[in-house]
Amino acid sequence: MINKNKIPEELIPLVEEKLHGRTDEINFPPPVFDTMQGEVIDYNMEKETLTCRFPVLPEHLNPYGYMQGGIIAAVVDNTIGPLSLLVSPPNFTRHMEMKYGKVISPDMGFIYVKARFVEKKKRMLYFEAVVENAEGTKLASAKSIHWVID
């Protein structure tokens, strides 16, 4: 099912095409994207990039009061995943590598994940992502490899 309230209207035909008629069995964006209160900010078809924004929520904090590392990985996966469906047939995350640089505190309000499709080799898709604050300071980065299902 395509949640037309959660993605820019101009992306809907592209998503429908990429899902190859499987809109009844594949959720775009995924339900966890809604749970994390994600928002699509920008999609650049030519550069094959997607930027999403996520709030730093109290329930996502570790014992020290900063965003928990697994949640940071989840916001990255929730940006690369939708991008992967915009650039390729249905696929899934096979491997993701995170590099954490700076703590993410609630006073930041929101973080931005900028994901980029790097290349496709046979059935493998390669992506990179950067997590930034509103000022553009790099907080974390990731590399992800996906496996095309079809």
Q: For residue range 30-87, what is the model confidence (pLDDT) as tens digits? A: 789 889 999 999 999 899 999 999 999 999 999 999 999 999 999 999 999 999 988 9
Say if 98 falls within a structural domain: yes
Q: Is the pLDDT of residue 129 over 90?
A: yes
Q: Is the pLDDT of residue 111 over 90?
A: yes
Say if 78 falls within a structural domain: yes
Boundaries of domain holding 33: 9-148
Residue with more model confidence, 58 or 17: 58
CATH number of the domain that 96 lies in?
Answer: 3.10.129.10
Q: Is the pLDDT of residue 10 over 90?
A: no
Say if 4 falls within a structural domain: no
- Say which residue the tokens 């990429």 belong to: 18
Closest CA to 43 of 6, 93, 3: 6
C-alpha count within 13 angstroms, C-beta hemisphere, residue 92: 4
